[in-house]
Amino acid sequence: MPQARKVALVSGGSRGLGAELVSGFLDRHYRVATLSRTKTTFITNTLRARKDRHFHWGAVDGRDHEALRAFVKEVGARLGRIDVLVNNVGIAMEGILPTMRTRDIVEAVEVNLTAALVLAQACSRFMLRQGSGCIVNISSVHAIRGHAGVAVYSATKAALDGLTRSLARELGPRQIRVNSVAPGYFDSDMVRDMAEEQKRRIARRTPLGRLARIDEVANAVHFLASEQASFITGQTLVVDGGITC
Amino acid sequence: MLTAPTLAQIESIVHGRIRAVLAERAGEVARLSGTDKLSATLGLSSLDLAFLVAELEAELGVDPFAKLVSITSVRSVGDLVRAYQQALFPELQRSGEDDAMATAVNRAQTRRARRKGR
């Protein structure tokens, strides 16, 4: 009997890195579930292309904890298991802390950190029962190096790395691996809004002399989710062209 | 479960799940008692307990530790059984609260009576 396809849940899979990850997991013969606030063209097209049971999308706001838990339960009931969770959903909160609105700080923490905690908790229930699983948290180079104007974003991403290390210790005995991928600058919303000169400056400071392609970041996630990374847990894989080295 | 389990069935299911976890490492397991301490007597770790909670949620359809009860208050097999019984029969929780209130009122009345008698 052929082995059942594995199931990957990617939060924030409607565009950018999340959409790249969704496509990558589908190409690797996973069944994929993703959540986002709105249905993008990517989601519509993927749903149309995958009329089978291999792709599932839910309209969920990352700040709604009950909706996140309900979505995980729905995915578990529908697809039977959850093998991989990628905590990708996040918002770029720019601005220096002294002048930032409290509600923006709270929103960044809710979406970038609390949503990841809630999803990891809910998915780990399935993984505990299976005796296997893999969680990948999308962190950032801003968790590793300080930069002006991203204090709140940095704090949430550094917290994700802390979560990675402790959760790896908590869940390791049940063969559940937890890792982070910390991307440098790649084609994301944060980079798209940058001035061309700023992008050139980043490229000059990067040993590999350029910004990352989105697939180069996704590949690191796919590696950590794969059997090739079967003895790697509690680690942060930095994918930044060497800018933090 | 399609129909709501009875209190005795809940106890039996919880005991069964605990025995299954213990059997994984020690083979056949003797009968459990409600006073057995999950950690001190049975040697269950917090991760074992998390596994049990996940299994029991799948079987009974409830997770008492999501909102009702703190997992840190569960020390014995009986505590775990009661947590599920109260989650599935909320009236038990209320009657427990009523009992506690009645006990507190009795204690206060006794104290007052003693003070008057002095």
**Inter-chain CB proximity A129 and B50 less than 8 Å:** no
Which domain covers residue A82, as residue numbers?
A: 7-185+213-239
B107: in domain: no
**Inter-chain CB proximity A125 and B57 less than 8 Å:** yes
Query: What does the radius of gyration of chain B's CA atoms come to, in whole angstroms?
Result: 18
- Residue B107 pLDDT class (50, 70, 90 cuts): low
B81: in domain: yes
pLDDT on residue A22:
97
B20: in domain: yes
B24: in domain: yes
A88: in domain: yes
Q: Looking at chain B, how many residues does it have?
A: 118
The CATH number of the domain where A14 resides is what? 3.40.50.720
* Domain count of the fold of chain A: 1
B37: in domain: yes
What is the 8-class DSSP label of residue A9? E
- Distance between CA atoms of residues A180 and A134, nearest Å: 11
**Inter-chain CB proximity A126 and B47 less than 8 Å:** no
pLDDT on residue B31:
86
A124: in domain: yes
A235: in domain: yes
Q: What is the set of active-site residues of A?
A: 153
* CA quadruple A172, A89, A68, A24: dihedral sign: negative
pLDDT on residue A2:
47
pLDDT on residue B3:
72
Which domain covers residue B63, as residue numbers?
A: 7-89
The CATH number of the domain where B14 resides is what? 1.10.1200.10
A45-49, A64-68, A194-198, B93-97: least confident range: B93-97
Nearest-Cα distance to chain B for A113, in Å, is 19
A17: in domain: yes
Give me the total of CB pairs closer than 8 Å, taking one residue from chain A and one from chain B: 20
The predicted-structure confidence for A173-226, as pLDDT tens digits, reads as follows: 999 999 999 999 987 777 877 888 989 999 999 999 999 999 999 999 999 999
Which residues on chain B are in Cβ contact (under 8 Å) with A128?
Answer: 47, 50-51, 54
Contact with chain B for residue A26, Cβ under 8 A: no
Q: What is the pTM of this model?
A: 0.88
Nearest to residue A179, comparing CAs of A197, A166, A188, A190?
A: A166
Contact with chain A for residue B59, Cβ under 8 A: no
Nearest-Cα distance to chain B for A173, in Å, is 8
State chain A's mean pLDDT as an integer: 94
pLDDT on residue B106:
59
What is the value of ipTM here, to two decimals?
0.83
pLDDT on residue B67:
81
Output the DSSP codes for chain B: --SPPPHHHHHHHHHHHHHHHHHHHHSS-----TT-BTTTTT---HHHHHHHHHHHHHHHS--TTTTTS-GGG--BHHHHHHHHHHHH-HHHHHHHHHHHHHHHHHHHHHHHHHHHH-
Which residues on chain B are in Cβ contact (under 8 Å) with A174?
Answer: 47, 51
pLDDT on residue A1:
41
The residue with greater pLDDT, A12 or A188, is: A12
A105: in domain: yes
B108: in domain: no
